[in-house]
Amino acid sequence: MLEDPSIKLLYQRRLEQNLMHAPCSLNIDVEWQTLKNTLQQAANEAPGKRKKRRHKRRLILWNENIKNLNETRRKLIYGIQQHVLKQANWNTKG
């Protein structure tokens, strides 16, 4: 978005304006947080902030069978991980 000259100029002006009004501090952590907030505020004001679109990440056909299969898969993966950890511990003891 900053490739657009008008947005870039607006961002630079907002940043300069916000930095001039930002309080100064001797604490580096407070100063860093102020700088971070100022940069984010200028970035949000210049091009505007888009709304996030929420996508449904769930299957429409979700049913008990799929739920059971997913649970079985999770248990198998957990079992394999435990087996690998036991093997690794056994190999380091030997």
Q: Delimit the domains of the chain by residue range.
A: 5-45
pLDDT at 42: 79
Identify which of 26-40, 58-72, 80-94 has the greatest average pLDDT: 26-40
Q: Could you give the CA distance from residue 13 to residue 23 in angstroms, rounded to a whole number?
A: 18
pLDDT at 51: 60
Average pLDDT in the 71-91 region?
A: 86
**Do residues 14 and 45 touch, judged by C-beta distance below 8 A?**
yes
pLDDT at 63: 81
Q: What is the pLDDT of residues 4-59, one digit of tens each?
A: 788 788 888 888 888 888 778 788 888 888 888 888 887 777 666 556 666 666 65
93 or 74, higher pLDDT: 74
In sequence order, what DSSP letters do the residues of 43-79 get, joined into one string? HHHTT--PPPPPPP-S-TT--HHHHHHHHHHHHHHHH
> 55 to each of 30, 51, 66, how far by Cα in Å?
37, 12, 20
pLDDT at 75: 93
